Amino acid sequence: MGTRQRVISRTSLIEDPPRESPTRAIETTPATFPMIVQTSSDSENSSTAAAQVAEWLEALADTLSQHKLEALDGLFEPDCFWRDFLAFTWNIKTVEGVASVREMLSHVLPRMDGSIAWALDRASVQCEGEVVSAWFRFETAVGRGQGHLRLRAGRCWTFFTALRELKGFEERKGRRRPLGTAHHYGPGRTTWLEEREREAAALGRTEQPYCVIVGGGQGGIALAARLRRLDVPTLVIERNAKAGDSWRQRYKSLCLHDPVWYDHLPYLPFPEDWPVFTPKDKLGDWLEAYTRIMEINYWSSTSCESACYDEAAKEWVVRVQREGEAIVLRPKQLVFALGVSGYPSTPVIEGHETFTGTQSHSSAYEGGEAWRGKRCVVLGSNNSAHDICADLWEHGAQVTMLQRSSTLIVKSDTLMQRVIGKLYSEDALERGIDAERADLIQASTPLKLSAQMNVPIYEEIAEADAEFYARLRNAGFMLDFGEDGSGLHTKYLRRGSGYYIDVGASELVAEGKIGLRSGVGIARIEADCVVLTSGETLEADLLVYATGYGSMNAWVADIVSPEVADRVGKCWGVGSDTARDPGPWEGELRNMWKPTCQTALWFHGGNLSQSRHYSLYLALQLKARMEGIETPVWGMERVRHLR
């Protein structure tokens, strides 16, 4: 039996509306709400809470339909949050405080054609202390979405709305899937393979793609798969010879530190026997296979030489080299999908040119086989530094880690048990939470609030693993849980660095098997050694700079122009006013998956989880623009930081 829903359109509240109802599309669409296990089994309390949420949604519908924005004070807490993914703002935007909610609605409501219909999922309503929460679906004139709310004392604390599909331009799936063949005979009938070959031969030559994606890693591939489902002609260009090579070319011991449940790509999850932590070559093979299976138009061995926006033609002029051939592409939209960051950040240290050993950035490190019995120094103390130090130690090298500043360390098992596993694990799957539902649950919490909620979790982690942390401190390792104690995920969003998920290297540091010098850097480099800022000298045959990467818009500076890069500004970070994330507070990642200050230029990146989830919202924005749907963007942040 289907879940009974309360459907609210304007001021009416309807139980299971008849077929002729204008809200029929909502009622008859299969429910796909993220479900959380109820925290209370009291059916009377649950029924009362559901009635409270339904009444609140009805009041919101009435307020919005009649533009009675003065009534918002009675519906939202003064310090509320409304996080919107495209549905109202055509932006990825968090609005904080009822006054800001009123300002946002005063701008967007006059531009929204028609009423908004809301459908409460009664089965999702739950009570936890003073908080009542629920999932709902909604429909606007242009699309359908999902959302979540949390009420306290009858007023809204957090409100989340996410556009999930465009009306009339839904993905080709289910009943809309392609037939795959023509059930008739006649001269000139073509096969699937012939059509694919024709498309691949034409796109970029006799037919121009609507969208070009620069970068064929997991981000570019995930976005291209979304766009293909939406019939957006897309071409991915990648400098490597094959999809997945960016992973294959890393040092051979590399494995993902995130678990399999967190890392699925859109539409095609990993098999059920896939290892929890994916080896890098296995991931490379998966990405290559995914590209073929999802029918992505993928130009490997292709470098993007330059790009400029033609204002008159409203298109990009993108010059590429494909296997030695110069080709000009003219897409309407250009996406940079080059990971989390920009170029490797390699410090220029006095005397580096005199070093007679080998020195390289961590991105170029190939493995420890050649360094048995050699003296190795690794500058840095985050994920790559730990992995490389452990790999060198395993291969019999004498390795020393140089830790310049404190690092967030959390054990992999602890992270799974206390943080990730609540949404991404076998236990979560047994509770009905798959990756797509988990993504929405995670997104329903505003980033500022999420950081606050993480503090007690990491206090519990510090207590649970107190002996582990004590041994690291005794070895001289400098630790933190972020400047405000909000943990790994927050630090990742703020700066994309400064942490290590421990899969064994920390034990080697604690035991002294990996040498450690903390609170120091390299003052200068000599022919066969490095001189530390403390004055100590370390002999070295190998020097690895595990020193991170720059901002993504550095790619734009080189490929487009420094002026456009500065017009767009810094990518990543939320404006937390912490190290490497200057303020003021913005509430969402800078420039990611949303419009930038350069027309038709977009950024897509992040880890596998972000590539999966946010690729949907970027794909919807590109599809809407291709189809001529009005996309008035509200709430774009001013560019305050360049790179």
Q: What is the DSSP string of 62-103?
A: HHHHTT-GGGHHHHEEEEEEEEEESTTTSSEEEEESHHHHHH
Provide the percentage of residues in the chain whose pLDDT is more than 70: 93
State yes or no: cis peptide before 187, omega within 30 of 0. Answer: no
In 3-state terms, what secondary structure has residue 284? helix
Query: Residues of 469-485 as b/e, b for ≥16 C-beta within 10 angstroms?
Result: beebeebebeeebbbeb
CA pair distance 297, 224, nearest whole angstrom: 8
Element counts in the chain: helices (H) and strands (E): 19, 28
Per-domain residue ranges of the chain: 5-166, 198-342+551-626, 352-545
Residue-wise pLDDT tens digits, 392-438 = 999 999 999 999 999 999 999 999 999 999 999 999 999 999 999 99
Q: What is the pLDDT of residue 183?
A: 84
Q: Indicate whether 140 pLDDT > 70.
A: yes
- Residue 351 backbone class (left: φ over 0; alpha: ψ -120 to 50; beta: rest): left
Q: What is the pLDDT of residue 340?
A: 74
Q: What is the pLDDT of residue 308?
A: 98
Q: What is the pLDDT of residue 299?
A: 98
CA pair distance 129, 27, nearest whole angstrom: 31
CA pair distance 493, 94, nearest whole angstrom: 15
**8 Å CB contact between 162 and 614:** no
Q: What are phi and psi of 467, to 5 degrees?
A: -65, -40
Average pLDDT, the chain: 92
CA pair distance 386, 254, nearest whole angstrom: 11
What homologous superfamily does CATH list for 352-545? FAD/NAD(P)-binding domain (3.50.50.60)
Q: Indicate whether 474 pLDDT > 70.
A: yes
- CATH class of the domain defined by 5-166: alpha beta
CA angle, residues 580, 583, 589, in degrees to nearest 5: 75
Side-by-side strand order, sheet with 211-214: 298-299, 234-237, 211-214, 333-336, 601-603
Q: Facing residues of 132 across strands? A: 127, 151
Side-by-side strand order, sheet with 522-526: 522-526, 529-532, 537-539
Range scoring the smallest mean pLDDT among 1-15, 313-327, 498-512:
1-15
Residue-wise pLDDT tens digits, 625-638 = 999 999 999 999 99
For residue 298, which of 431, 436, 199, 432 has the smallest C-alpha distance? 199
For residue 621, which of 95, 108, 165, 104 has the smallest C-alpha distance? 165
CA pair distance 378, 360, nearest whole angstrom: 10
The CA distances from residue 68 to 59, 75, 95, 102, in Å, are: 10, 11, 19, 10
Residue with token string 């309503």: 125
In 3-state terms, what secondary structure has residue 619? helix
Q: Indicate whether 589 pLDDT > 90.
A: yes
In 3-state terms, what secondary structure has residue 513? coil
Torsion angle in degrees (nearest 10) through CA of 524, 525, 529, 532: 20
633 CB-contact burial (10 Å; exposed 0-12 / middle 13-18 / buried 19+): middle
In this prediction, residues 601-618 reach a mean pLDDT of: 97
Matching fold, domains 5-166 and 352-545: no
Q: Indicate whether 473 pLDDT > 90.
A: yes
Residue-wise pLDDT tens digits, 189-200 = 899 999 999 999
Look at the alpha carbons of 460, 465, 467, 469 in this order and tell me if their dihedral is positive or negative. Answer: negative
Confidence category of residue 3, pLDDT binned at 50, 70, 90:
very low
**8 Å CB contact between 154 and 65:** no
List of residues 6+ apart from 438 with CB closer than 8 A: 34, 261, 423, 424, 428
Residue-wise pLDDT tens digits, 261-317 = 999 999 999 999 999 999 999 999 999 999 999 999 999 999 999 999 999 999 999
CATH number of this structure's domain 198-342+551-626, picked from the four choices 3.40.190.10, 1.10.3720.10, 3.50.50.60, 3.40.50.300: 3.50.50.60
pTM: 0.92
CA pair distance 231, 626, nearest whole angstrom: 10
Residue-wise pLDDT tens digits, 88-130 = 999 999 999 999 999 999 999 999 877 799 999 999 999 999 9
Q: Indicate whether 31 pLDDT > 70.
A: no
| Helix segments in 190-344, DSSP class H | 192-202, 218-229, 245-248, 280-293
Residue-wise pLDDT tens digits, 510-539 = 999 999 999 999 999 999 999 999 999 999
In this prediction, residues 551-578 reach a mean pLDDT of: 94
* Encoded tokens for 632: 């008035």
Confidence category of residue 181, pLDDT binned at 50, 70, 90:
confident
Q: What is the pLDDT of residue 434?
A: 97
Residue-wise pLDDT tens digits, 161-171 = 999 999 999 99
CA pair distance 485, 417, nearest whole angstrom: 19
Q: What is the pLDDT of residue 43?
A: 64
Q: What is the pLDDT of residue 44?
A: 66
Q: Facing residues of 302 across strands? A: 322
